[in-house]
Chain A
Amino acid sequence: MKPTMFTTTAGLALCLGAGAALAQEVTLTVESWRSEDQAIWNDTLIPAFEEKHPDINIEFTPTAPTEYNAALNARLEGGTAGDLVTCRSFDGSLPLFNKGQLADISDLDGLSNFPDFARAAWSTDDGASTFCVPMASVIHGFIYNADAFAELGLEEPETVDEFFAVLDAIKEDGSYIPLAMGSADQWEAATMAYTNIGPNYWKGEEGRQALIDGTAAFTDPQFVAPYEQMVRWTDYMGPAYQAQGYSDSQNLFTLGRAAIYPAGSWEITGFTEAADFEMGAFPPPVQNAGDTCYISDHTDIGLGMNAATDHPEAARTFLEWVASPEFAELYTNALPGFFSLSDAQFEVDNPLAQEFIEFRENCESTVRVASQILSRGEPNTWNNMWVLSANVLNDAATPEEATAELQQGLASWYEPQQN
């Protein structure tokens, strides 16, 4: 090294791409957790919209469902989120509105196409402001292997007793696992078991509102009873169901190795493609023949507008279209299993989806019990319900212990439950 050389120069070259070409067309990006819907958006929905509004381009940019909430929050905070935001229901989106990240769209004309219960999922508690257009709900029930039922001479059960008689018959025959259900991923235990069969016990909205008002508690018999039924399920679930995950259960059923699948209607598309046997669906069995049946018809997916979007007018135009009967029909038929919440009347092509949508005619609809208000605090009731429902299936907690813990967690922060 030369001792005299003591200055070192560092050159910084900054290349600034000057590509701000003025576009006449507006491009809107849609944030979503439904990555499996990419093809439906690109092939069906977006062309249908762009045909009417050639000056607005829509880009569908989904994120993996498990990362969606975290990623969306980070992007909204950082100001890089898309113009349109797919909204989870209730408290999944309300905080975003309260923070001013979602725009108030209460004055959108298309909102009048939706019933109150649908709008409630994306409105403030007092119903004054609405911040997302309801897109679809998912309906819970049971999908069964119709070929297997025919082979064993079984019929769709209506009551709990008939349900267990069917399960007994399948178990006795031995060629099928009666129930395709595992507890490894925990959320199926809460979603497809507890809040699927529960509304029949707590009478849907009546029981859910009573919890919110504080006039009922999780320790009441109507909330313990579904867990008691779930304990009986374990005799009919696969061997070593404790390590059976969600995709394992799906595969067991679509490969024809299991006869009944406690389901959400979002499975319809995948199952229709994967299964090479006939399928049917029945709603959660009631306690006594002739009882009113209640189904979990969960408002699941909505579409809102990023308050910081550069193109609010274009975004509103798109939202008006999403609220239209045309979108309702396109969407429901492109994605059988996600049922539009619109009042619009139309035919559903997929027969299995048609069976699910018919539940609505005979049964009362309700949403998942822990989704509105009750999961606002810490510990989160919906998370607790995942863990405790899996514990009940794993015999790690009795129905009484599980509901006692649910109640204790809720009462620790929710005032109406503290008396």
Chain B
Amino acid sequence: MTDVITDTVERRPTPRRKRRLGGRTHIVVFLAPAVLIYTVFSIYPLIESLRLSLFDGLDDGSAVWTGLGNYTTLLSDPNWAVRFWNALWNNLILFFIHMVVQNPLGLLLAALLSLAPRFAGAYRTLIFVPTLLSVVIVGFVWELILSPLWGVAQTMLGAVGLGWLYAPWLGLESSALTAVSLISVWQYVGIPMMLIYAALLSIPDELLDAARVDGLSGVAIFWKVKLPLILPTLGIVAILTYIGNFTASFDLIYSIQGVLGPPDYSTDIMGTLMFRTFFGQQTQIGDIHMGATVASMMFFIILIGVTIYLVGVQRRLTRYEM
């Protein structure tokens, strides 16, 4: 921004440069709304939140500077640290399940769709529709399906002789997080599918024809031609999964399990920890400073993950001109 402005001021005199100035002013004008909105609603709150995390609240509502005191408390106080590490660990499990279930499934579905089977359009729409549903609806529907009292899960498993498999998954410490993750996978599998599907469609037919002429089978074409070409998309899918895992997953857990991540904090993630710290929960009074600290930690963790990806992975991906 500043570059553009000093540029325009310096180069005002000559007529030829006037033309360049005109060419640039419209850039400023077009950028302005986005930059303004982004600054006011994203950058400013982010900085404000980081600032809040460096203060401590007093009983009379005023705040006092503590530096990194809140961070030390969060990471070293036994009562805080146990919740923080547990939430982070649960987030990582959530990410892992999405990476090994949702994304390969999305890839498989996209690969199948790109073969243009019959009713491909219908399948594509049906698989994508849950993505558009409100998490509250998804949460409520799945809670009912899996309910031991009114749910159809038990009956349906029983009908195929697998009734013994049934357990109240959402209520068991051992399976609650996996169950919630899989509900989220069900809802969001459409997104990687669509991204990968679009990437697959953009591969030129000549390349595939050439591969066929060279004698590659369909499976080999997928592994040796298509997959390398869509690797950058898979990278984007991975990073979107990583970020969504800290942001989008909160909605679902909040609507199904509530803000304490029951049972026994087994579905407590960074988002729920942040929510109840910041806004409070029943008799627990919201603490905006500790809440902002948890939120800032989330920001740093996302930042680190994205940086590792951008520096370590994306640069090494080979992009092919197609």
Q: Which residues of A contact B (CB under 8 A)?
A: 1, 3-8, 10, 66, 69-70, 73, 88, 90-92, 95, 98-101, 182-187, 238-245, 248, 251-252, 370-371, 375, 378-380, 382-383, 386-387, 390-391, 394, 396-397, 409, 412
Contacts and interface: CB of A to CB of B under 8 A. Distances in A.
B21 interface: yes
A4 B172 contact: no
B79 A409 contact: yes
Interface in B266-286: 276, 278-286
Contacts of B23: 3
A4 B282 CA distance: 64
Nearest to A249: B149
B265 to A, nearest CB: 7
A243 B169 contact: yes
Given A242-B263, A248-B149, 16 more contacts: A1-B26, A8-B25, A8-B26, A69-B285, A99-B59, A99-B61, A184-B170, A185-B258, A185-B262, A240-B148, A240-B149, A240-B171, A243-B168, A243-B171, A387-B262, A391-B264
Contact of A98 (B60, B79, B170, B172): B60
A382 B283 contact: yes
B146 A383 contact: no
A296 to B, nearest CB: 15
A70 B283 contact: no
B279 A375 contact: no
Contacts of B169: 243
Interface of B: 18-19, 21-23, 25-26, 29, 59-61, 78-80, 143, 146-150, 167-173, 258-260, 262-265, 276, 278-287, 290
B82 to A, nearest CB: 9
B29 A10 contact: yes
A383 B263 contact: no
Contact of B22 (A5, A186, A396): A5
A240 B167 contact: yes
Given A73-B279, A248-B149, A380 B22 contact: no
25 contacts: A7-B25, A8-B25, A66-B259, A69-B286, A73-B280, A73-B286, A90-B283, A101-B61, A183-B263, A184-B170, A184-B171, A184-B263, A240-B167, A242-B171, A244-B147, A248-B147, A371-B283, A378-B284, A382-B282, A383-B260, A383-B276, A390-B262, A394-B173, A412-B78, A412-B79
A390 B148 CA distance: 17
Nearest to A6: B22
A7 B25 CA distance: 8
